[in-house]
Protein backbone atom coordinates (compact mmCIF):
# COMPACT_ATOMS: atom_id res chain seq x y z
CA UNK A 1 0.00 0.00 0.00
CA UNK A 2 2.95 2.34 0.47
CA UNK A 3 4.70 1.49 -2.82
CA UNK A 4 4.86 4.35 -5.29
CA UNK A 5 4.55 4.32 -9.09
CA UNK A 6 7.10 7.11 -9.67
CA UNK A 7 9.77 7.30 -6.97
CA UNK A 8 10.04 3.51 -6.77
CA UNK A 9 11.11 3.37 -10.43
CA UNK A 10 13.78 6.02 -9.88
CA UNK A 11 15.17 4.12 -6.90
CA UNK A 12 15.15 0.74 -8.62
CA UNK A 13 16.85 2.16 -11.72
CA UNK A 14 19.58 3.65 -9.53
CA UNK A 15 20.16 0.25 -7.95
CA UNK A 16 20.80 -1.15 -11.44
CA UNK A 17 23.30 1.51 -12.54
CA UNK A 18 24.97 1.97 -9.13
CA UNK A 19 24.66 -1.26 -7.11
CA UNK A 20 27.58 -0.32 -4.83
CA UNK A 21 26.08 3.08 -4.01
CA UNK A 22 29.13 5.05 -5.07
CA UNK A 23 27.32 7.82 -6.96
CA UNK A 24 25.63 10.49 -4.84
CA UNK A 25 24.54 12.75 -7.73
CA UNK A 26 20.76 13.27 -7.60
CA UNK A 27 18.47 11.93 -10.31
CA UNK A 28 16.74 14.49 -12.51
CA UNK A 29 13.07 14.42 -13.48
CA UNK A 30 12.83 17.18 -16.08
CA UNK A 31 9.25 18.13 -16.89
CA UNK A 32 10.13 21.26 -18.91
CA UNK A 33 9.05 24.28 -16.85
CA UNK A 34 10.04 22.50 -13.62
CA UNK A 35 12.78 20.02 -12.84
CA UNK A 36 12.82 17.82 -9.73
CA UNK A 37 16.08 16.65 -8.18
CA UNK A 38 15.67 13.32 -6.40
CA UNK A 39 18.48 12.24 -4.03
CA UNK A 40 20.18 8.87 -4.43
CA UNK A 41 19.26 7.77 -0.91
CA UNK A 42 16.15 8.74 1.04
CA UNK A 43 12.86 7.43 2.40
CA UNK A 44 12.21 4.06 4.02
CA UNK A 45 15.29 2.39 5.49
CA UNK A 46 15.54 -1.31 6.38
CA UNK A 47 14.59 -0.73 10.02
CA UNK A 48 11.41 1.15 9.08
CA UNK A 49 10.39 -1.33 6.37
CA UNK A 50 10.93 -4.20 8.79
CA UNK A 51 8.86 -2.51 11.50
CA UNK A 52 5.97 -1.79 9.14
CA UNK A 53 6.05 -5.32 7.75
CA UNK A 54 5.86 -6.87 11.23
CA UNK A 55 3.11 -4.51 12.39
CA UNK A 56 0.80 -5.07 9.42
CA UNK A 57 1.43 -8.81 9.39
CA UNK A 58 0.58 -8.96 13.09
CA UNK A 59 -2.70 -7.10 12.53
CA UNK A 60 -3.61 -9.35 9.61
CA UNK A 61 -2.83 -12.59 11.44
CA UNK A 62 -4.59 -11.70 14.70
CA UNK A 63 -8.01 -10.27 13.76
CA UNK A 64 -9.67 -11.33 17.03
CA UNK A 65 -7.05 -10.00 19.47
CA UNK A 66 -6.42 -6.65 21.11
CA UNK A 67 -3.31 -5.20 19.49
CA UNK A 68 -1.35 -2.36 21.02
CA UNK A 69 1.65 -0.29 19.97
CA UNK A 70 3.80 1.02 22.78
CA UNK A 71 3.85 4.37 20.97
CA UNK A 72 4.01 5.56 17.38
CA UNK A 73 5.32 2.77 15.12
CA UNK A 74 7.52 5.29 13.32
CA UNK A 75 7.38 9.06 13.18
CA UNK A 76 5.04 9.25 10.21
CA UNK A 77 1.41 10.28 10.75
CA UNK A 78 0.10 8.51 7.62
CA UNK A 79 1.36 5.11 8.78
CA UNK A 80 0.27 5.61 12.38
CA UNK A 81 -3.19 6.88 11.45
CA UNK A 82 -3.70 3.88 9.16
CA UNK A 83 -2.79 1.47 11.96
CA UNK A 84 -5.22 3.25 14.31
CA UNK A 85 -7.97 2.86 11.71
CA UNK A 86 -7.24 -0.87 11.68
CA UNK A 87 -7.96 -1.06 15.40
CA UNK A 88 -4.45 -0.79 16.84
CA UNK A 89 -4.20 1.33 20.00
CA UNK A 90 -1.26 3.27 21.47
CA UNK A 91 -0.23 2.67 25.09
CA UNK A 92 1.90 5.84 25.27
CA UNK A 93 2.23 9.22 23.56
CA UNK A 94 5.62 9.96 22.01
CA UNK A 95 6.66 11.93 25.13
CA UNK A 96 5.98 8.91 27.36
CA UNK A 97 2.58 10.06 28.67
CA UNK A 98 0.41 7.03 29.46
CA UNK A 99 -2.69 6.57 27.29
CA UNK A 100 -3.62 3.07 28.42
CA UNK A 101 -2.07 1.60 31.60
CA UNK A 102 -0.06 -1.56 30.99
CA UNK A 103 -1.66 -2.95 34.14
CA UNK A 104 -5.01 -3.04 32.31
CA UNK A 105 -3.71 -5.48 29.67
CA UNK A 106 -4.09 -9.26 29.78
CA UNK A 107 -1.74 -12.03 28.77
CA UNK A 108 -3.79 -12.63 25.62
CA UNK A 109 -3.17 -9.11 24.33
CA UNK A 110 -0.49 -8.32 21.76
CA UNK A 111 1.97 -5.46 22.22
CA UNK A 112 4.20 -4.36 19.34
CA UNK A 113 7.49 -2.68 20.27
CA UNK A 114 8.16 0.17 17.79
CA UNK A 115 11.27 0.72 15.67
CA UNK A 116 12.75 3.00 18.34
CA UNK A 117 12.84 0.16 20.88
CA UNK A 118 11.71 0.59 24.46
CA UNK A 119 13.04 0.81 27.99
CA UNK A 120 13.92 -2.07 30.27
CA UNK A 121 11.33 -0.78 32.74
CA UNK A 122 8.50 -1.10 30.20
CA UNK A 123 9.73 -4.53 29.11
CA UNK A 124 9.54 -5.71 32.72
CA UNK A 125 6.03 -4.29 33.18
CA UNK A 126 4.83 -6.18 30.09
CA UNK A 127 6.38 -9.40 31.38
CA UNK A 128 4.58 -8.93 34.70
CA UNK A 129 1.31 -8.93 32.71
CA UNK A 130 2.28 -12.17 31.02
CA UNK A 131 3.11 -10.44 27.70
CA UNK A 132 6.31 -11.29 25.84
CA UNK A 133 7.78 -7.92 24.72
CA UNK A 134 10.05 -9.65 22.22
CA UNK A 135 7.41 -11.65 20.33
CA UNK A 136 6.43 -8.66 18.19
CA UNK A 137 9.58 -6.62 18.52
CA UNK A 138 10.24 -4.23 15.62
CA UNK A 139 13.25 -2.49 17.18
CA UNK A 140 15.60 -1.36 14.41
CA UNK A 141 18.69 -3.61 14.21
CA UNK A 142 20.92 -0.54 14.16
CA UNK A 143 19.40 0.72 17.41
CA UNK A 144 20.09 -2.71 18.91
CA UNK A 145 23.64 -2.48 17.56
CA UNK A 146 24.14 0.71 19.57
CA UNK A 147 22.85 -1.06 22.70
CA UNK A 148 25.19 -4.02 22.15
CA UNK A 149 28.20 -1.75 21.67
CA UNK A 150 27.30 0.12 24.84
CA UNK A 151 27.00 -3.16 26.73
CA UNK A 152 30.44 -4.24 25.50
CA UNK A 153 31.91 -1.03 26.86
CA UNK A 154 29.97 -1.35 30.11
CA UNK A 155 31.52 -4.77 30.73
CA UNK A 156 34.93 -3.12 30.44
CA UNK A 157 34.04 -0.48 33.02
CA UNK A 158 33.33 2.39 30.61
CA UNK A 159 30.75 5.12 31.13
CA UNK A 160 28.63 6.22 28.18
CA UNK A 161 27.86 9.58 26.63
CA UNK A 162 24.74 9.41 24.42
CA UNK A 163 24.48 11.96 21.63
CA UNK A 164 20.75 12.43 21.22
CA UNK A 165 17.54 14.19 22.19
CA UNK A 166 16.87 13.00 25.72
CA UNK A 167 13.06 13.09 25.31
CA UNK A 168 13.07 11.08 22.05
CA UNK A 169 11.74 7.50 22.34
CA UNK A 170 14.93 5.99 20.96
CA UNK A 171 17.20 7.94 23.31
CA UNK A 172 14.98 7.07 26.29
CA UNK A 173 15.33 3.40 25.33
CA UNK A 174 19.08 3.66 24.76
CA UNK A 175 19.50 5.47 28.09
CA UNK A 176 17.58 2.74 29.90
CA UNK A 177 19.55 -0.12 28.35
CA UNK A 178 22.83 1.71 28.93
CA UNK A 179 22.03 2.65 32.53
CA UNK A 180 21.59 -1.06 33.25
CA UNK A 181 25.36 -1.47 33.12
CA UNK A 182 27.04 1.98 32.99
CA UNK A 183 26.89 5.55 34.24
CA UNK A 184 25.23 7.54 31.41
CA UNK A 185 24.83 11.17 30.36
CA UNK A 186 23.02 12.55 27.29
CA UNK A 187 24.35 15.49 25.25
CA UNK A 188 22.24 17.18 22.59
CA UNK A 189 24.84 18.84 20.38
CA UNK A 190 28.47 20.03 20.13
CA UNK A 191 27.66 23.05 22.30
CA UNK A 192 26.64 20.77 25.17
CA UNK A 193 29.65 18.55 24.47
CA UNK A 194 31.89 21.59 24.99
CA UNK A 195 30.21 22.31 28.31
CA UNK A 196 30.73 18.72 29.41
CA UNK A 197 34.36 18.84 28.21
CA UNK A 198 34.99 22.01 30.23
CA UNK A 199 33.50 20.42 33.36
CA UNK A 200 35.56 17.28 32.76
CA UNK A 201 38.80 19.31 32.45
CA UNK A 202 37.73 21.55 35.38
CA UNK A 203 37.48 24.73 33.32
CA UNK A 204 33.93 24.90 34.63
CA UNK A 205 32.78 24.17 38.19
CA UNK A 206 31.35 20.75 38.94
CA UNK A 207 28.07 22.43 39.91
CA UNK A 208 27.48 23.22 36.22
CA UNK A 209 26.95 19.52 35.56
CA UNK A 210 23.74 19.40 37.57
CA UNK A 211 22.51 22.57 35.84
CA UNK A 212 23.04 21.28 32.30
CA UNK A 213 22.90 17.50 32.62
CA UNK A 214 21.34 16.57 35.95
CA UNK A 215 17.96 15.82 34.31
CA UNK A 216 19.52 13.53 31.69
CA UNK A 217 22.13 11.49 33.50
CA UNK A 218 22.13 8.50 35.81
CA UNK A 219 21.87 9.16 39.53
CA UNK A 220 25.16 10.19 41.07
CA UNK A 221 26.97 10.72 37.76
CA UNK A 222 30.25 12.48 38.49
CA UNK A 223 32.05 13.69 35.35
CA UNK A 224 35.37 13.96 37.19
CA UNK A 225 35.22 10.26 38.02
CA UNK A 226 32.83 8.67 35.54
CA UNK A 227 34.59 10.16 32.51
CA UNK A 228 37.89 8.53 33.41
CA UNK A 229 36.92 5.87 30.85
CA UNK A 230 34.05 6.48 28.43
CA UNK A 231 32.68 6.08 24.94
CA UNK A 232 30.16 8.03 22.84
CA UNK A 233 27.13 6.27 21.36
CA UNK A 234 24.25 7.94 19.58
CA UNK A 235 20.61 8.23 18.72
CA UNK A 236 20.83 6.75 15.22
CA UNK A 237 18.87 9.56 13.53
CA UNK A 238 21.18 12.39 14.62
CA UNK A 239 23.42 14.14 12.11
CA UNK A 240 26.41 11.84 11.62
CA UNK A 241 28.74 14.81 11.19
CA UNK A 242 27.47 16.23 14.49
CA UNK A 243 28.00 12.93 16.32
CA UNK A 244 31.57 12.91 15.01
CA UNK A 245 32.03 16.48 16.24
CA UNK A 246 30.75 15.51 19.70
CA UNK A 247 33.23 12.61 19.72
CA UNK A 248 36.10 14.88 18.68
CA UNK A 249 35.33 17.47 21.36
CA UNK A 250 35.23 14.89 24.15
CA UNK A 251 38.26 13.00 22.83
CA UNK A 252 40.24 16.25 22.86
CA UNK A 253 39.14 16.86 26.45
CA UNK A 254 40.31 13.35 27.38
CA UNK A 255 43.67 14.04 25.71
CA UNK A 256 44.08 17.24 27.73
CA UNK A 257 43.19 15.47 30.96
CA UNK A 258 45.07 12.20 30.52
CA UNK A 259 47.71 13.03 27.92
CA UNK A 260 47.66 12.59 24.15
CA UNK A 261 49.74 9.43 24.29
CA UNK A 262 47.32 7.79 26.73
CA UNK A 263 43.99 9.03 25.34
CA UNK A 264 42.95 5.74 23.72
CA UNK A 265 43.13 4.06 27.12
CA UNK A 266 40.40 6.42 28.31
CA UNK A 267 38.31 7.20 25.20
CA UNK A 268 36.72 4.34 23.25
CA UNK A 269 36.36 4.46 19.47
CA UNK A 270 32.63 3.98 18.81
CA UNK A 271 32.38 5.26 15.22
CA UNK A 272 30.95 1.85 14.28
CA UNK A 273 27.63 2.75 15.95
CA UNK A 274 26.66 5.30 13.29
CA UNK A 275 23.66 4.04 11.29
CA UNK A 276 24.64 3.42 7.66
CA UNK A 277 21.18 4.42 6.35
CA UNK A 278 21.19 7.73 8.23
CA UNK A 279 24.70 8.41 6.98
CA UNK A 280 23.79 7.56 3.37
CA UNK A 281 20.68 9.72 3.44
CA UNK A 282 22.53 12.68 4.88
CA UNK A 283 25.43 12.36 2.41
CA UNK A 284 22.93 12.20 -0.47
CA UNK A 285 21.20 15.30 0.91
CA UNK A 286 24.47 17.25 0.88
CA UNK A 287 24.90 16.20 -2.77
CA UNK A 288 21.32 17.32 -3.41
CA UNK A 289 22.13 20.73 -1.95
CA UNK A 290 25.31 20.97 -4.05
CA UNK A 291 23.16 20.62 -7.18
CA UNK A 292 21.91 24.17 -6.47
CA UNK A 293 18.10 23.80 -6.39
CA UNK A 294 15.95 26.92 -6.26
CA UNK A 295 13.81 25.52 -3.44
CA UNK A 296 13.62 22.27 -1.47
CA UNK A 297 10.65 20.27 -0.20
CA UNK A 298 11.18 17.68 2.54
CA UNK A 299 8.30 15.31 3.26
CA UNK A 300 8.00 13.67 6.68
CA UNK A 301 6.49 13.71 10.15
CA UNK A 302 6.92 16.84 12.22
CA UNK A 303 8.32 14.82 15.12
CA UNK A 304 10.74 12.89 12.91
CA UNK A 305 14.31 13.57 14.02
CA UNK A 306 15.99 12.29 10.86
CA UNK A 307 13.62 14.35 8.67
CA UNK A 308 14.43 17.51 10.60
CA UNK A 309 18.14 16.95 10.05
CA UNK A 310 17.58 16.74 6.28
CA UNK A 311 15.75 20.07 6.51
CA UNK A 312 18.63 21.48 8.54
CA UNK A 313 21.11 20.52 5.81
CA UNK A 314 19.07 21.94 2.93
CA UNK A 315 17.93 25.19 4.50
CA UNK A 316 21.55 26.41 4.52
CA UNK A 317 21.44 26.33 0.71
CA UNK A 318 17.93 27.36 -0.39
CA UNK A 319 14.39 28.04 0.89
CA UNK A 320 13.26 24.71 2.38
CA UNK A 321 9.76 23.57 3.30
CA UNK A 322 9.10 20.66 5.69
CA UNK A 323 5.62 19.25 5.04
CA UNK A 324 3.89 16.06 6.16
CA UNK A 325 2.11 15.50 2.82
CA UNK A 326 0.60 17.17 -0.25
CA UNK A 327 -2.34 18.52 1.78
CA UNK A 328 -0.14 21.26 3.24
CA UNK A 329 -0.42 23.40 0.11
CA UNK A 330 -3.08 24.18 -2.44
CA UNK A 331 -1.49 26.18 -5.21
CA UNK A 332 1.65 28.30 -5.45
CA UNK A 333 0.21 31.13 -3.36
CA UNK A 334 0.51 29.59 0.13
CA UNK A 335 2.09 26.67 1.95
CA UNK A 336 1.79 25.43 5.54
CA UNK A 337 5.09 23.99 6.78
CA UNK A 338 6.88 23.13 10.00
CA UNK A 339 9.57 25.36 11.50
CA UNK A 340 11.63 23.12 13.75
CA UNK A 341 13.47 26.03 15.37
CA UNK A 342 10.24 27.67 16.50
CA UNK A 343 8.55 24.25 16.88
CA UNK A 344 5.41 25.51 15.16
CA UNK A 345 3.56 25.50 11.86
CA UNK A 346 4.14 28.59 9.75
CA UNK A 347 2.61 29.93 6.55
CA UNK A 348 4.68 31.18 3.63
CA UNK A 349 3.05 33.20 0.86
CA UNK A 350 4.02 32.87 -2.80
CA UNK A 351 6.30 29.97 -1.98
CA UNK A 352 6.37 28.49 -5.48
CA UNK A 353 7.73 30.72 -8.28
CA UNK A 354 5.69 30.10 -11.43
CA UNK A 355 6.85 33.19 -13.33
CA UNK A 356 7.91 31.44 -16.50
CA UNK A 357 11.53 30.86 -15.55
CA UNK A 358 12.53 27.22 -15.23
CA UNK A 359 12.40 26.10 -11.62
CA UNK A 360 14.56 23.41 -10.01
CA UNK A 361 13.09 21.73 -6.91
CA UNK A 362 14.95 19.40 -4.57
CA UNK A 363 12.46 16.78 -3.35
CA UNK A 364 13.25 14.29 -0.59
CA UNK A 365 11.78 12.65 2.50
CA UNK A 366 12.68 11.22 5.88
CA UNK A 367 13.39 7.56 6.63
CA UNK A 368 9.88 7.01 7.99
CA UNK A 369 8.05 8.52 5.02
CA UNK A 370 6.39 6.26 2.41
CA UNK A 371 7.52 7.02 -1.16
CA UNK A 372 3.90 7.28 -2.27
CA UNK A 373 3.59 10.54 -0.27
CA UNK A 374 6.55 11.93 -2.22
CA UNK A 375 4.79 10.94 -5.44
CA UNK A 376 1.69 12.85 -4.35
CA UNK A 377 3.71 15.98 -3.56
CA UNK A 378 5.50 15.80 -6.92
CA UNK A 379 2.25 15.40 -8.86
CA UNK A 380 0.52 18.22 -7.01
CA UNK A 381 3.38 20.65 -7.58
CA UNK A 382 3.60 19.56 -11.21
CA UNK A 383 -0.09 20.37 -11.71
CA UNK A 384 0.69 24.07 -11.18
CA UNK A 385 2.90 24.23 -14.28
CA UNK A 386 1.28 24.39 -17.71
CA UNK A 387 2.75 22.62 -20.73
CA UNK A 388 4.79 20.24 -18.59
CA UNK A 389 5.80 16.85 -19.98
CA UNK A 390 3.79 13.74 -19.18
CA UNK A 391 4.97 11.70 -16.19
CA UNK A 392 5.14 8.51 -18.27
CA UNK A 393 7.51 10.18 -20.74
CA UNK A 394 9.84 11.48 -18.03
CA UNK A 395 9.91 8.15 -16.19
CA UNK A 396 10.42 6.06 -19.33
CA UNK A 397 14.28 6.18 -19.23
CA UNK A 398 14.22 4.81 -15.67
CA UNK A 399 11.88 2.02 -16.76
CA UNK A 400 14.24 1.10 -19.58
CA UNK A 401 17.13 0.94 -17.12
CA UNK A 402 15.10 -1.36 -14.86
CA UNK A 403 14.26 -3.57 -17.85
CA UNK A 404 17.95 -4.20 -18.55
CA UNK A 405 18.23 -5.96 -15.18
CA UNK A 406 15.44 -8.47 -15.91
pLDDT exceeds 90 at position 193:
yes
Query: What is the model's pLDDT at position 393?
Result: 96
CA-nearest of 145, 109, 177, 100 to 276 is: 145
Residue ranges, comma separated, of all CATH 3.40.50.11270 domains in the chain are: 46-128
| Among 13-22, 152-161, 194-203, the least confident range | 13-22
pTM: 0.88
Rg of the chain in Å (alpha carbons): 23
Mark whether 170 is an active-site residue: yes
Tell me phi and psi for residue 230, to 5 degrees: -155, 165
Residue 45 pLDDT greater than 90, yes or no: no
pLDDT, tens digit, for every residue of 306-318? 999 999 999 999 9
**Which residue ranges does the chain devote to CATH 3.40.1010.20?**
7-45+277-403
* More confident call, 356 vs 219: 219
Domain 46-128 part of CATH 3.40.50.11270: yes
Inter-residue contact 287 to 40 (CB < 8 Å): yes
Phi-psi region of 43 (alpha: psi -120 to 50; beta: other; left: phi over 0): left
The residue from 72, 169, 170, 315 that is catalytic is 170
pLDDT band for 402, please (50, 70, 90 cuts): confident
- Distance in angstroms (rounded) separating the CA atoms of residues 57 and 294: 42
Domain 7-45+277-403 is found in CATH 3.40.1010.20: yes
Q: What is the mean pLDDT of residues 288-301?
A: 97
Task: Give one DSSP letter per residue of 100-139, joined into a string.
Answer: S-GGG--TT-EEEB-TT---HHHHHHHHHTT--TTTTB--
Confidence of residue 1 (pLDDT cuts 50, 70, 90): low
- The CATH class that applies to domain 147-273 reads alpha beta
Amino acid sequence: MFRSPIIRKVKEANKVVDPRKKDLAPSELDFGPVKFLIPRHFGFCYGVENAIDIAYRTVEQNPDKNIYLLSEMIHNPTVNEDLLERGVKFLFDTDGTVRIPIESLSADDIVIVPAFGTTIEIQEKLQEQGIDPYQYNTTCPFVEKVWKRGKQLGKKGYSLVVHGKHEHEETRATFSHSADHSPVVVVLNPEEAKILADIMTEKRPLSDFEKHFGHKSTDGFNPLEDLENFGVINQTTMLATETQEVMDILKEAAAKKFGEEDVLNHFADTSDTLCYATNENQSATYALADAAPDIAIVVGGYNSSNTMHLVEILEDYCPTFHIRDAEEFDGPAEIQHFNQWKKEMVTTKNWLPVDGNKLTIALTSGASCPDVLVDEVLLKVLSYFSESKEVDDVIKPFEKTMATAT
